[in-house]
Amino acid sequence: MAFRSYGKWAGRVQMLVLAAIVAAVAPAAAQPAGAGRPLKIVAFGDSLTAGFGLPADAAFPARLQRALSRKGLAVEVANAGVSGDTSADGLARLDWSVPDDADAVILELGANDALRGIDPQRTHAALDAIVQRLVARRIPVLLAGMRAPPNMGADYAQAFDAIYPDLAAAHALIFYPFFLDGVAAERGLNQGDGLHPTAAGVDVIVARLLPKAEELIARARTARGP
């Protein structure tokens, strides 16, 4: 009798253990691959992205990630900004700056091209090459536009400013016309050089660009699939 009782008890324990294993494994198996990983957005740009003159947690990528998190969105925004980069510099480092696990890119380049008076055709060609390579990798892009400084003259400004809407239309990109909208030339929102935003300036940029970032996230989720 003792042996039979032990056998029944052991059998019940085995069944309970098996049930616990099935319960633990089943939910994970039901989730789509990659469902637990936050979307990774790479902010790819120059000093305006890198956060020149600011602590790391005040730079655009960090502030954007915080704003998205407050909306309940599981997103990682990686800072791939390099101060001083032109569009050609960005093209040269694209492959190692935007890793294989990137789900989307915010492209912010061109300000240094305009400051240096680089031929707008060269800037257009470099940005177009960046976009084409990202599109070939099936990475959705939010293109953040830039405008030429007034001192470059009307002809230069007309040619330069047209780069961004042209590229956005040609590649069906999500488009934010001017990265520094609401911040450029606002003394209280820029550092002493008049070129780089303060932390308060970055907050203005994030608040205005946020709807486009949410649109980018929606497109990235569709691209990732179930």
Query: Which sequence positions are flagged as catalytic?
Result: 47, 193, 196
Give yes or no for a contact between 126 and 88, defined as CB atoms under 8 angstroms apart: yes
DSSP 145: P
Report the C-alpha gap between 136 and 159 in whole angstroms.
27
Neighbours of 48 (CB within 10 A): 27
Q: Which residues of 54-89 are buried (b: 16+ CB within 10 A; e: fewer)?
A: beeebbbbbbbbebbeeeeeebbbbbbbbeebbbbb
